[in-house]
Structure 1
Amino acid sequence: MTKDHDIRDACRRLIAEFVWHVDRNDYHALVELFAPDGVFERPGAIMAGRQAILAAMELRSCDRLTRHFCTDPIIDIVSPTAANGRCYVSLQSAPLAERGDQSGMRVTLVGEYHDRFVLTGDGWRIAYRTARIISQD
């Protein structure tokens, strides 16, 4: 495998692990995907650093079952230690009471993730993530 392939694979994995941890409310694992000084920007909030991201994510409502689905991301390598990525995201959700019957799941948001990735001593991490909403129900 080429170095470029390894970089793209590591960045794709960060995108996939982010939504996996969000949907399981595992915010401690989620913040480890960010560089220590990483930033997560979403409509109405900019969180800088792992502690700020964790505090904001812990305010997220736990009364809904969510599933985030990302398209295959486009990863552009900037240098051996930096890359950019972008993908579309679709959010399906349902009230938690319907957890046993996921037929209540419906698309409630379509958006985009725009990421800057950086190679750290602990491997590739998200340096900056911007979440943009295209449409929301």
Structure 2
Amino acid sequence: MSTEIQPTTRLELRTLVEEFNWKLDHAEPEGFADLFTPDGSFAAGPKEHVGHEALAAFAAARTAQPKLSRTMVCNHRLVAADDDHIGGAVQYILFMKDEDAPQSTEIFAVGEYSDEYTRTSDGWRIAKRTSRQVFQRAS
């Protein structure tokens, strides 16, 4: 087992992270579930979506909302468990508004994704992603 994470692996995992938010922010739900292992999961608050069917339904419902959103991700930290499993943490800032036009906005949420990645025959996939809000907008 090698605990060093190769640059090509880092790039592939970074691409997964970027595609996750790009698809949700740009109303492109196609292929969202394919970012995950077949039994992969995404949990945010009390809701958890497990498996490709549930993940595809989540992405379709989220992108169908009449909202404009953009998510900034940074500080992608990776820790190898073994050659086929890597843990990760990603900080995010989410901007979201109900209208689809340039306008002033405020931060909707600041949080962290806790991730588990698994190497599959199709490449690296998200096995588990849990979103935890650290800060949220004032009500």
Provide the TM-score with structure 1 as the length reference: 0.89
Q: CA deviation at 1:3?
A: 6.0
Q: Is the 8 A contact 2:42 2:55 kept in 1?
A: yes
What's the CA shift for 1:12? Answer: 1.3
Q: Does the 8 Å contact 1:111/1:132 carry over to 2?
A: yes
Residue 70 (structure 2) pairs with residue 64 (structure 1): no
For the pair 1:4 / 2:6, whether they are aligned, the reply is yes
In 2, the alpha carbon distance for the partners of 1:65 and 1:34 equals 24
**How many angstroms does 1:5 deviate by?**
1.7
* SS of residue paired to 1:18: helix
8 A Cα contact 1:94 1:104, kept in partner: no
Say whether residues 1:114 and 2:117 are aligned partners.
no
What is the aligned-residue RMSD (CA, Å)?
1.6
TM-score by length of structure 2 reads 0.87
For the pair 1:31 / 2:69, whether they are aligned, the reply is no
Contact persistence 2:25–2:68 (CA under 8 A): yes
Alignment of 1:1-137 (within 5 A): 4-60=6-62, 62-97=65-100, 99=101, 101=102, 103-137=103-137
Could you tell me which runs of 5 or more consecutive residues in structure 2 were left unpaired when the two chains were aligned: none
Post-superposition CA distance 1:59-117 (Å, at most 9, x none): 325211000001130011221111111011100122224x2x2x323211011001000
Percent identity of the aligned residues? 28
Which structure 1 residue ranges, 4+ long, deviate > 3 Å from structure 2? none
Mapped to 1, the partners of 2:135 and 2:59 lie a distance apart of 21
Query: 1:108-135 deviations in whole A, cap 9, x for unaligned?
Result: 1011001000011111000000000112
Q: What is the CA distance between 1:28 and its match in structure 2?
A: 2.3
Structure 1 spans left out of the alignment, 5+ residues: none
Q: Are the equivalent residues in 1 in contact too, given 2:93–2:107 (CA < 8 A)? A: yes
SS at match of 2:89: strand
Question: Could you tell me how far apart the structure 2 residues matched to 1:56 and 1:112 are?
Answer: 19
